[in-house]
Structure 1
């Protein structure tokens, strides 16, 4: 199907009918997901830029779901012409223009935007007269306008938009180096690193420092060898949010408050890296079972062992301070918001339960998958936010080489060895 600018011209009656049918069928699928499936939140991504379309959406939702389903309209406006041009350039990496010449694609997208502008009715008066919640974001967060924002989810959505950015940066996630308790097979605790753990910490420090330098060089080279606006045949569009002052990009290293995590980050130079300890990154607290081996738990607390095995996600360790995965998910929420907000590189040296939650979030996995993700010691996970998703890479530490190997086809998977225990 032709999806050039002409397809979005309202005078093209056949295309208009197709777009309208696609929009409403997609909306019905979303409502089926919420009303008849397991969905709690749906995002209807369509060009709802006319008052008629927004009225049609509300009529369809109210007809099927009644007044109980909350609706929040989100409008993004670019008044800064250079920012608009930049965002158009980012559009070229999306599915509409995949594998097409950037110059021709940008010219076509500009025509599409011009067509939208002719019929565009901004969110505002009608929505306010009819008490319809909305949030308007101007110039990617320079200014935010909200109306009738009520309830937890709507408030969280606005808070997320306030902290959202597309600055190119790296997020690294790893577990601490091997600890003495790891060697003894004990869970929890606050032991020191083993000799192997210290060796990992030193190798990781060298590797991250090298990756930081290489990343900056790649970004600078990309900027130097592309053009803005693009020229015909230009297939490496730069990220317009990238600053040429790459040498001064900050790099944060966040550890937990536990010794094995703090010691894993101790070799980073304070002048080059901003090292900080955060209690939110601490390992899941095992309550009365802290410091026990899994064999000891199975023999001394057989009932608890079986309860956890039946529902690991919902299970909470008994005793003072005992936690479960749902507690960790709630505890990590502010860390995730900060990672979305910040423009600096960041390395998180944490623990298995926390690493599982962070990786599941950035990979868009289901909550039910969190508790059983395979997340062994000696792995470094690299995440790079992009306009269309997060680029994911994995590296494995090789003690014999004292360095890391890149795993090109690595995918997160469920643990296969004693999954009920880890």
Structure 2
């Protein structure tokens, strides 16, 4: 119930304890990160067993789930990452151009941030374009172009220094180095860099020999690249294919049998047709492998909508298991007509196990699946109450939720953070599937939408998901296209805007004061203060 809003999703929460609040994770596309400053403070903050913060020095207030304490101190030249369970991880992409490395990098980063692991992509192409303002032709990538090779190496070193700054000074947990990294020399340089800074390394190699997939990738992504402002499809295709040939001359794939047998990596072959996994080190690497084995690039559409208006919606009650109102039933019929008109191939329909979503799906006249994990957020003691009743009976709880809606957990219920953890299997299945219609609830829909649109923990609880409206999500190259479809059936408005900063309820003033104090005193045990 505590914590200040942050830009990255917080870590999973230990039942019965207030969660640590991580530092903000920068958003993708925020530009080239800064070079690390000199004299950074040592990272020795740790969280006490009772949920508070132990005494000791800090660096940007990093909690222990981001950086473990080291006793005794380890010399920088020693690779203690081999035995530090929670060392930061550097994910290194490998592969020829147009093999989907940036697609995987951005998608993986979006997923990791959504589950609460602060992650950022470092795309070497961005650094190269900063160093070389105008791209001339594929000649820049020839292995015998010594001047260009030196520029590319310097760009890689600058990017790695920014990786270091992010992981050691900005409380990042995972950095994704998005580059070709096709030579052993370059990969050895990265491994030495990681060893010096005690980072774990996990390689992701994308291998593709399907000419149709490569051509489609070039046309879909590279035509709009800043390298080709003229956007001439034929010229882009010709130049880019020659660029690929330049890389092929020196390309050394990962060798799982000899040279690279001791490395941790996954080879993704022909966009997920086959996988080769080698020496997975820890839990987070296993999560990465599992995620990469579930995603695909086939065209599909995901439809998200809430149930029809319910009887409890009419009276402003939250939770419960009420049936549809007359207008809710009207929406169900309108939804049936819409789905029939779309003529969607092999559409799967998923609902929760609550009456209002089931009644909405029943009207479609199609087979549907019920998922318990799609049930609405559990409001605990506040179930079947209106917000006015909650404010009157539990004024402090009401105020606390307004101040930190993502982390706040209803007494005996759930928080949005809990809900994200609960919905992770749904995300995995949505990534595996083709066309799917998910009939769910407001909080659930917000969590799913935040994943696909890469929204932060601050934004998630306030995403607009109105009744009787369909959101059509179409995955595209580096994101997701969203279309809003209103079926013109009136319904009550259940959205509550984010409260303004000056609308703090008196009942929450003390706890907000504690938050302000602990922000400047990271060694204070906030759990004990609250008690």
Q: TM-score, structure 2 length as denominator?
A: 0.64
Of the three residues 354, 368, 371, the one matched with 1:258 is: 354
Q: Does 1:399 align with 2:482?
A: no
Alignment map for 1:62-73 (pairs within 5 Å): 62-63=195-196, 65=197, 67=198, 69-73=199-203
Asked if 2 retains the 8 angstrom alpha-carbon contact of 1:188 and 1:286, the reply is yes
User: 1:90 and 1:165 mapped to 2: Cα distance?
Assistant: 16
Asked if 2 retains the 8 angstrom alpha-carbon contact of 1:136 and 1:145, the reply is yes
Of the three residues 477, 497, 500, the one matched with 1:416 is: 497
Q: In the TM superposition, what is the alpha-carbon distance from 1:324 to its structure 2 partner? A: 1.4
The 1:417/1:139 distance shift into structure 2, 3 A limit, reads closer
Cα deviation digits, residues 315-347 of structure 1 (max 9, x gap): 22223xx211111101110110111111x2111
Asked if 2 retains the 8 angstrom alpha-carbon contact of 1:373 and 1:415, the reply is no
**Which residue pairs with 2:116 in the alignment?**
none
**Which residue pairs with 2:404 in the alignment?**
311
**Which residue pairs with 1:75 in the alignment?**
205
Q: In the TM superposition, what is the alpha-carbon distance from 1:171 to its structure 2 partner? A: 0.7
Q: In the TM superposition, what is the alpha-carbon distance from 1:90 to its structure 2 partner? A: 4.1
Q: In the TM superposition, what is the alpha-carbon distance from 1:176 to its structure 2 partner? A: 1.2
Q: In the TM superposition, what is the alpha-carbon distance from 1:7 to its structure 2 partner? A: 1.7
**Which residue pairs with 1:277 in the alignment?**
370
Which region of structure 1 is more displaced relative to structure 2, 77-86 or 134-143?
Answer: 77-86
**Which residue pairs with 1:151 in the alignment?**
282
Asked if 1 retains the 8 angstrom alpha-carbon contact of 2:208 and 2:270, the reply is yes
**Which residue pairs with 1:346 in the alignment?**
436
Q: In the TM superposition, what is the alpha-carbon distance from 1:83 to its structure 2 partner? A: 4.1
Q: In the TM superposition, what is the alpha-carbon distance from 1:31 to its structure 2 partner? A: 2.5
User: 1:98 and 1:38 mapped to 2: Cα distance?
Assistant: 36
Secondary structure of the equivalent of 1:121? coil
**Which residue pairs with 1:198 in the alignment?**
329
The 1:250/1:97 distance shift into structure 2, 3 A limit, reads farther
**Which residue pairs with 1:302 in the alignment?**
395
Cα deviation digits, residues 272-299 of structure 1 (max 9, x gap): xx42111111100111211111111111
User: 1:212 and 1:42 mapped to 2: Cα distance?
Assistant: 42
**Ranges in structure 2 where 5+ consecutive residues have no aligned partner:** 1-133, 504-531
Q: Does 1:43 align with 2:133?
A: no
Asked if 2 retains the 8 angstrom alpha-carbon contact of 1:92 and 1:102, the reply is no
Report the count of equivalent residues: 363
Asked if 2 retains the 8 angstrom alpha-carbon contact of 1:261 and 1:350, the reply is yes
User: 2:289 and 2:409 mapped to 1: Cα distance?
Assistant: 31
**Which residue pairs with 2:423 in the alignment?**
332
Q: In the TM superposition, what is the alpha-carbon distance from 1:183 to its structure 2 partner? A: 0.3
Which region of structure 1 is more displaced relative to structure 2, 351-360 or 363-372?
Answer: 363-372
Q: In the TM superposition, what is the alpha-carbon distance from 1:99 to its structure 2 partner? A: 5.5
Q: In the TM superposition, what is the alpha-carbon distance from 1:4 to its structure 2 partner? A: 2.8
Pick the structure with more helix per residue: 1
Please list every run of at least 4 consecutive aligned residues from structure 1 whose deviation after the TM superposition is greater than 3 angstroms.
79-94, 96-99, 417-420
Which region of structure 1 is more displaced relative to structure 2, 96-105 or 44-53?
Answer: 96-105
User: 2:230 and 2:430 mapped to 1: Cα distance?
Assistant: 31
**Which residue pairs with 2:192 in the alignment?**
59
**Which residue pairs with 1:119 in the alignment?**
250
Q: In the TM superposition, what is the alpha-carbon distance from 1:86 to its structure 2 partner? A: 4.3
Asked if 1 retains the 8 angstrom alpha-carbon contact of 2:268 and 2:274, the reply is yes
Q: Does 1:359 align with 2:452?
A: no
User: 1:148 and 1:263 mapped to 2: Cα distance?
Assistant: 48
Alignment map for 1:234-253 (pairs within 5 Å): 249-253=345-349
Of the three residues 160, 170, 176, the one matched with 2:291 is: 160
Q: Does 1:105 align with 2:236?
A: yes
Secondary structure of the equivalent of 2:144? coil
Asked if 2 retains the 8 angstrom alpha-carbon contact of 1:75 and 1:136, the reply is yes
Q: Does 1:376 align with 2:433?
A: no
Q: In the TM superposition, what is the alpha-carbon distance from 1:127 to its structure 2 partner? A: 2.6
The 1:269/1:94 distance shift into structure 2, 3 A limit, reads farther
User: 1:97 and 1:160 mapped to 2: Cα distance?
Assistant: 32
